[in-house]
Structure 1
């Protein structure tokens, strides 16, 4: 993790925005939050995230998907998959997601994010009620059968070190806001559950 020296941070000051988050909520006619989709590779996180994004767009709600693979093509392309790099990967994306929330947008993240500690770090960056952890639950056997990127096969052959669920652990959420069993539901049904949750919380 990159850290700044005390001499540098002492010269950095926070500037308050003229337009507040509440101002943006009034303009958008909906609140903002982070919808944090976590689960094994192949559980359906990215598919659900993009279907949700499309549904919210059709409802005239401002949203944006931050996808794990896409982020690693740019912002986090220098990071690997060691526990330390995974931690930094999640720290960076959590800070980006927070900026989207400040901008009045619903940020939808699709990351394996295997460690509870890192997901808690992301939650603690946000105000109460702004972090919605959704566990996209799917048996690893089903994820391996899907294996849309062929990653499990490579991991089983030892070609991918530190692969979550095979050679690296996945820590299930203790108390997520929502559990979606993606092996038992259609994508539309998964999206329905999330939209209903957002409505019940008064976010949309």
Structure 2
């Protein structure tokens, strides 16, 4: 279980700090709602370890994550800027989610190729991110996150700007992760994404 306990944070220009307090069970998705600037992305960065809270705790399965570096947390993220490595091709970007040193077995490489087919990127495995559309980059980032197989998945507008068929395809992929017990935090302005994926919502 992901347990956010009175997690407090404020930027220097902010008069009143945000206070985040909720729990999410394994296999559940919590949708975070609120206007731009309400703290959705900040919350994601706190859980991922890219920001340090002023007080409170982040616990997973009873253990605090506050002292853990981002790469040591049981968390993977999909942010709006995708965070792809521009000098690496698509299959390598995805492969880094499987093994950071790219020491992949033939089975793992086959799973990457299958994953690319699954998200509609078959035949693009040797392209650089600069040769992809925004929607294609988005799919690479989401597939890489899923293939990291971490128990907590943070999704910041993961399907924004995609066509209807692709959104349905990727929602199915995320629903599969839920069925495997992955805990999800979803920030999305799309009502249908929240309706399909989320089990509960929390407004900021």
Question: How would you bin the TM-score normalised by the shorter chain?
Answer: 0.3 to 0.5
Report the TM-score when normalising by structure 2: 0.39
Report the TM-score when normalising by structure 1: 0.39
Structure 1 or 2: more helix by fraction = 1
